[in-house]
A and B are shown apart, each in its own frame.
Chain A
Amino acid sequence: MTIPFNNPDRPNSYIGKTVPRPNAAKLVQGRGRYVDDIVLPRMLHVAFSRSPVAHAKIGTFDLEEAKAVKGVVRIFTGADLAEVCTPWVAVLAHLKGLKSPPEHPLAVDRACWVGEPVVAVVATSRAAAEEAASLVVVDYEELPAVTDTMTALDADTPVIHPELGDNLAFRRLHEEGDVDAAFKSAHKVVSARFRTARHTGVTLEPRSILVDWNPAEGQMTAYHATQAPHMMQTVFAKHLDIPESRVRVVCGDVGGSYGIKVHVYPDEVATAAIAKVMGRPIKFIADRLESFSTDIHARDHEIEAKIAVDEDGKILAIDVDDWTGIGPYSVYPRTSAIEGNQVVNLCGGPYDFANYRAQTTVVFQNKTPTCQYRAVGHPIAVAITEGLVDMAAAAIGMDPVEIRRRNMYADDAYPVTSPAKMRFEGLSHHASMDKLIEMMDYDALRADQAEARKHGKYRGIGIASFIELTNPSPFMYGIGGARISAQDGCTVRMDPDGSVVALSGVTEQGQGTEAMLSQVVAEGVGVKPSKVRVITGDTQVTPYGGGTWASRGAGIGGEAALQAARALRDSILGVAAAMLQTDANKLDIRDGQVVDADTGEERMPLEELGRIVYFRGDTLPKDLPRELVQTRHFITMEYPFAFTNGVQASYLEVDPDTGVVTLLKHWCVEDCGRVINPQLVDEQIRGGIVQGLGGALYEEIHYDEDGQLLNGSMADYLVPMAAEMPDMQIAHVETPTKESELGAKGAGEAGTAGAPAAVMNAINDALRPLGAQVTEMPFTPERILRALGKIND
């Protein structure tokens, strides 16, 4: 039986409605349980002495003063931990040529970035551990630092890892059609150089882990703020030589992740290794300052790109040369080549064109490692594509909306394969654009812009269409050899009181996964969402799964939950039919009652069925199945990824004297397939837009040429804040994926994907009458004034 989603009056119609988040009250009342809230008997704290220089040979240690600090229990160096923890190498077989050296939990012999953990100090309190860590003396013999991406491969640039031969981590060239010929004969060619700044995720809860090794059981329990507990289980087991079945990863409440918490961090593995050596629980909570130099960074790209169009604005070719610096190591186990790879996969995404060339060059540097952060590669690819499309439109005197309409895949063109060889099952670029234009009242806005200009105000409208990769199959990591699950499972059971418990392999980090699961299960079984308790984040308890990343929670985890819930419904009805001496298909479950399917007449509450099954099973027929626990797993099979699409618009004002940009309004129309919970989806889009606006206007990690981090605090790494954020209007087009009954694709990253490009295009729209253009993010007041030629050095 399928669910008639388009009928809002159907029974148990929770899918598609805003229902309250089951964990909201708990979190608001301060009753959440984050890793730092957990205190175990005999627990110790670890703090790290980190490299103060970007590249150095590690000489001798002087630990005497540190050891003398009251409360210090033990101090570990890289050599100590290398005895109990094997190093990891972050490469994947399908990313051909990707190389990276072995990485240890604490640096051995050489430190390769400012912030790399070198010595671990274990003490009875974090304060004592920190105090002692500040007294650790390490003899650093400085080596030349590689900090510039574009010269990393030059002959006279030192090679960071001589055993690898050069500083090239990965390079991929993709070519489709005859790009050179298309450019040669084109009516118009426009080229530009783009830059996206180094960012980091700035989670509200910093990275946190508490590891307990119980030698009597031979079991390790890690309480971990992570997005992927099963992945971490494998990592700890493999590198600390423990059977996988003897590692339990528990992830309770997690205060935001944005991709930051899906990677393997040396200080966290060190914490686990130390717990195993000492046989005592060890806690590590990163503080905000060390987070800036140790949480993964992302987005540090420099791009040369060009586009060729004909007289009618049809895109003939796009050519992209992307460079990114990833720090000294590819990050385990997802690798740091994915972001560049995504740029190649995603550029030109919304458009139907034939000739495409893109190359990404991924190099090593002595800076904090970069890896996947919300909307991996998308903001870069969308900025390149949408920036070029707007420039082309301006060059041929065409409206930016019109040029997009002329090039976007027709809504009935699917399935199609893009020139980047991405396969799209079904997208809605035109319907989304139509909805956006109506919602923002494009013509009225253009009139307002013209009117404002008469008064000396420079306002601009920016449009950005985008595609977003969600619901990844094993094509993302599994085929490369990583033990990162693309399938996910859900177990749903009915307890004697008629309530339902759902155990899911996807995780909650604040985005509402558990709310989504509760309503899917509620509808699937036929109870109120408040009757469903959701349990996630415990490798010993939930079905095996991948966790929450790449916008997969609802699409993969939600479908597994729906199937498990439907199976439970069927088994409940099987029992009910026997009890009521009727056919199961004549019955339904609504609001926790077994009812007559046709009339809706109540036949039996689920509590009664529970009472019989669990306490008076003797009264049921002997061979009647009564499995009120059902598990289902789901994996996508037809498409490597479920692509979504959308379009954003920004309206803003640029002050040409100060360079300050004021955001006036932002719009987004987005198609994530089935919208399970409108409020959650809208808030995901809004939150994502805010992060994208941060990238466009504020966020930038600065290093000097020696690799010193210059702005590692909240005072000078500027995150977007409420006062600067514009009103945002969100709307949806729904093109469900046919791979699942639920039809949901991901929604968590779309906002971040498109917002920077929309802002860039709006700024350039405002600046165009002044003959200026910016393409280097973030668009600081200074960069805008420089583009306007107003600053004399």
Chain B
Amino acid sequence: MKASAGGYARAESVGHALELLAAAEGQGRVLAGGQSLIAAMNMRLSVGDLLVDISKISDLSGVAVGDGALRIGALTRHAQVGSDPLVNVHTPLLRDAVSHIAHAAIRNRGTIGGALAHADPAAEFPACALALGAILHVDGANGARSVAAEDFFEDVFTTALNEGELLTSITVPVAENGEVQVLEEVARRSGDYALVGLCLVKRSAGHRIALFSVGPKPILAKGAMAALDAGDLDAAVESLSAEIDPPSDTQASAAYRRHLAGVLLRRAVARLKGDVA
């Protein structure tokens, strides 16, 4: 189908982008890598938006480390995240996630900010952000604010971002000594969205488990985390099953997804222990 946009403007800076969004009177739509938005427009699922292209704002891109946290600019492309040496050392989970996201051409254009703002319940990065306890940094007409990942994802394609706000970066605590981060997922074909995916982070403070493709938004499986902290894997699997409410669709039923979540948790735990499956 032919897309129908209400207009297009290229933002020169964050301030300019916010101005353009404000002037769009509710019709504004941020265009980052375009790998979800353009597809939606081409299917006429999204019609008449005034596109505000942020892809040329260079301050929004790149990775830096400071104050015990890694800061990743919203415009950093998936491929950059996957190959960045700081990401590799400090948040290997994000590096591993990239290899599961789509295909090379899409990873070259898609941005981490776009993936987080898009909030697809089957996407990797939102769940990684939850598992890592990331903080999302937002700028808007009313000033900048920070939102914890746990408060950011609200529903299918819905986040705490307000109209006219821009996600500018994400900060992730750098991995402590001995921290282990593991991502497990099953997809029908390589590059497809996961049928179910699971992130497991083991820190001195305890385990963190986040799942994706198991409901309307990525979830932190707190019951399973507590059970794992207590060293009871079976109880963790059982708890997990109760904590998720996965969808049924043409790829798999809820029952299959629920089963798979347990399998993935066992596999992730085996990897923590170094028994690579």
Is A793 engaged at the interface, CB distance under 8 Å to the other chain? yes
- Tell me which of B44, B191, B192, B251 has the highest count of chain A C-beta atoms within 10 A of its own C-beta: B251
| Contact status A723-B1, CB under 8 Å | no
* A793 CB contacts on chain B under 8 angstroms: 253, 255
Between A658, A700, A710, the greatest number of chain B beta carbons within 10 A of the residue's beta carbon is seen for A658
In the complex, the chain B residue whose C-beta lies closest to that of A783 is B256
- Which residues on the B side are within 8 Å of A698 (C-beta)? 188-189
Does A790 sit at the interface, judged by CB under 8 A? yes
Which of B44, B189, B263 interacts with A134 by CB under 8 Å?
Answer: B44
Query: Does A127 make an interface contact (CB < 8 A)?
Result: yes
List which B210-246 residues lie within 8 A (CB) of chain A: none
A710 to B195, CA, bound (A): 17
Is B252 in contact with A780, judged by CB distance below 8 angstroms? yes
**B259 touching A127 by the CB < 8 A rule?**
no
A713 CB-CB contact with B under 8 Å = yes
A791 at interface, CB cutoff 8 A = yes
Asked if B4 is an interface residue, CB under 8 A from chain A, the answer is yes
Closest to B251 in A: A716
Is A792 positioned at the interface, with any CB of B under 8 Å from its CB? Answer: yes
Q: Chain B contacts of A134 at CB under 8 A?
A: 44
Contact B189–A721 (Cβ < 8 Å): yes
Residue from B2, B186, B250 within 8 A of A781 (CB atoms): B186
Q: Does A657 contact B (CB under 8 A)?
A: yes
Which residue on chain B has the smallest CB distance to residue A786?
Answer: B256
Known A-B contacts A127-B4, A130-B1; A657 and B263 likewise in contact (beta carbons under 8 Å): yes
For A659, what are the chain B residues with a Cβ–Cβ distance below 8 Å? 256
> Are A723 and B252 in touch, CB under 8 angstroms?
no
**Is A21 positioned at the interface, with any CB of B under 8 Å from its CB?**
no
With A287-B1, A791-B255, A792-B255 known as contacts, the answer to whether A710 contacts B250 (CB < 8 A) is yes
Q: Are B44 and A785 in contact (CB under 8 A)?
A: no
Does B253 contact A785, Cβ atoms closer than 8 Å?
no
Interface size class of B (residues with CB under 8 A): 20 to 34
Cβ A718 vs Cβ B2 within 8 A: no
Tell me the A679-712 residues at the B interface (CB within 8 Å). Answer: 698, 700, 702, 710-711
Whether B190 is near chain A, meaning CB under 8 Å from some CB there, is: yes
Task: Please state if A721 and B190 are interface contacts (CB–CB under 8 Å).
Answer: yes
Q: A131-B4, A134-B44, A713-B43 are in contact. Are A718 and B255 (CB under 8 A)?
A: no
In the complex, chain A residues whose CB is within 8 Å of the CB of B189: 698, 718, 720-721, 723-724
Which residues does chain A contribute within 8 Å of B161, judged by CB atoms?
none
A658 touching B188, Cβ below 8 Å: no
Q: Does A660 contact B (CB under 8 A)?
A: yes
A658 touching B260, Cβ below 8 Å: yes
* Min distance, Cβ A725 to any Cβ of chain B, angstroms: 10
* Given A723-B189, A724-B190; A289-B259 close (CB under 8 Å): no
B252 CB contacts on chain A under 8 angstroms: 780-782
Q: Which residue from chain B places its CB closest to the CB of A129 in the assembled complex?
A: B2
Contact A660 B186 (CB under 8 A): yes
Chain B residues with Cβ below 8 Å from A716 are 249-251
From residue B128, how far is it (CB to closest CB) to chain A in Å? 21
Docked complex Cα distance between A658 and B261 (Å): 10
**Among B44, B191, B249, B263, contact of A723 (Cβ-Cβ < 8 Å):** B191
Taking CB atoms and an 8 Å cut-off, the chain B residues in 178-195 that contact chain A are 186, 188-192, 195
How many Å from the CB of A685 to the closest CB on chain B? 22
Instruction: Give complex CA distance A718, B189 in Å.
Output: 8
The answer to whether the Cβ of A633 comes within 8 Å of any Cβ in the partner chain is no
Q: How far is the CA of A588 from the CA of B146 in the complex (A)?
A: 86
Main secondary structure of the interface of A (DSSP, over half): loop
Q: A131-B4, A781-B256, A782-B256 are in contact. Are A711 and B190 (CB under 8 A)?
A: no
Closest Cβ–Cβ distance, residue B118 to chain A (whole Å):
14
Cα separation A710 to B248 with both chains bound (whole Å) = 12
Q: Residue on B with the closest CB to A723?
A: B190
Q: Which of B249, B253, B260 has the most CB of A within 10 A?
A: B260
- Shortest C-beta distance, A713 to chain B (Å), equals 7
Q: What is the minimal beta-carbon distance from A702 to any residue of chain B, in angstroms? A: 4
Closest to A131 in B: B4
A126 contacts chain B at the CB level, 8 A cutoff? yes
CB interface residues, A 504-528, toward B, < 8 Å: none
Q: Quote the shortest CB–CB distance from B259 to chain A (angstroms).
A: 5
Contacts of B186 in A (CB 8 A): 658, 660, 781
Instruction: Give the CA-CA distance A289 to B1 in the complex, in Å.
Output: 8
B47 shortest CB reach to chain A, Å:
9
Cα distance, A711 to B253, chains bound together (Å): 15
Q: Which residues of A contact B255 (CB under 8 A)?
A: 791-793
Expressed in whole angstroms, the Cα–Cα distance for A158 and B232 within the complex equals 56
Instruction: Check B263–A658 contact: CB distance below 8 A.
Output: yes
CB neighbors of B among A309-356 (8 A): none
Evaluate contact between A130 and B2: CB separation under 8 angstroms: yes
Residues of B near A127 (CB, < 8 A) are 2, 4
B43 touches A289 (CB 8 A): yes
- Give the chain A neighbours of B249 by CB distance below 8 A: 716
Residues on the A chain within 8 Å of B2, using CB: 126-127, 130-131
Contact B260 A718 (CB under 8 A): no
A590–B44 Cα distance when bound, in Å, is 60
Q: Interface centre among B4, B188, B192, by most A CB within 10 Å?
A: B188
Task: With CB as the reference atom, state the residue of chain A lying closest to B259.
Answer: A791
Residues of A within 8 A of B192 (CB): 718
Question: Which A residues between 392 and 413 are near B, CB-CB below 8 angstroms?
Answer: none
B104 CB to closest chain A CB, in angstroms? Answer: 11
- Choice from A710, A711, A721, A785 contacting B256 with Cβ under 8 Å: A785
Q: Which residue of A lies closest to B43 (CB)?
A: A289
Q: In whole angstroms, what is the CA distance A459 to B171 when docked?
A: 44
When distances are taken between beta carbons in the complex, the residues of chain B under 8 Å from A126 are 2
Cross-chain contact B259 with A790 (CB below 8 angstroms): yes
A689 to chain B, nearest CB (A): 17
Q: Which residue of A lies closest to B266 (CB)?
A: A657
Q: What residue in chain A is nearest B257 (Cβ atoms)? A: A782
- Kindly state the separation between the CA atoms of A657 and B4 in the bound complex, as whole angstroms: 45
- CA–CA, A129 and B139, complex, Å: 40
Which chain A residues lie closer than 8 Å to B260 at the CB level?
658, 781
Interface residues in A599-635 by Cβ distance below 8 A to B read: none
A376 to B18, CA, bound (A): 58
A724 surroundings in chain B (CB, below 8 A): 189-190
Give A781 to B43 CA distance when docked, in angstroms: 29
Q: How far is the CB of B84 from chain A (nearest CB, A)?
A: 24
Minimum Cβ distance to chain A for residue B234 (Å): 15
> When each residue 118-155 of chain A gets 1 if its CB lies under 8 Å from chain B and 0 otherwise, what string results?
00000000110011001000000000000000000000
Interface residues of B in 1-30 (CB under 8 A from A): 1-2, 4
**C-alpha gap A735/B43 in the complex (Å):** 50
Within 8 A of A (CB), among B143-193: 186, 188-192
Residue numbers in B under 8 Å from A702 (CB-CB): 250
Quick one: CB contact mask for B79-96 with A, threshold 8 Å, 1 for yes? 000000000000000000
Q: Is the CB of B259 within 8 A of A785?
A: yes
B246 to chain A, nearest CB (A): 12
CB of A791 within 8 A of CB of B1, answer no
**Residue of A at shortest CB range from B253?**
A782
What residues of A have a CB within 8 angstroms of the CB of B44 in the complex? 134
| B193 and chain A: residue at smallest CB distance | A715
Contact B190 A791 (CB under 8 A): no
Query: Nearest-CB distance from A66 to chain B (Å)?
Result: 15
Report the minimum CB–CB distance from A551 to chain B (whole Å): 29
What 1/0 flags go to B190-206 for Cβ under 8 Å of A? 11100100000000000
Known: A287-B1, A710-B250, A711-B250. 12 other contacts (CB 8 A): A126-B2, A134-B44, A659-B256, A720-B189, A723-B189, A724-B190, A780-B251, A780-B252, A785-B256, A785-B259, A791-B259, A793-B255
10 nearest interchain CB pairs?
A: A127-B2, A723-B190, A782-B256, A702-B250, A711-B250, A657-B263, A793-B255, A791-B255, A782-B252, A658-B186
13 cross-chain CB contacts under 8 A: A127-B2, A130-B2, A658-B186, A660-B186, A702-B250, A718-B192, A721-B190, A723-B189, A781-B195, A782-B253, A782-B256, A791-B259, A793-B253
**A-binding residues in B (CB < 8 A):** 1-2, 4, 43-44, 186, 188-192, 195, 249-253, 255-256, 259-260, 263
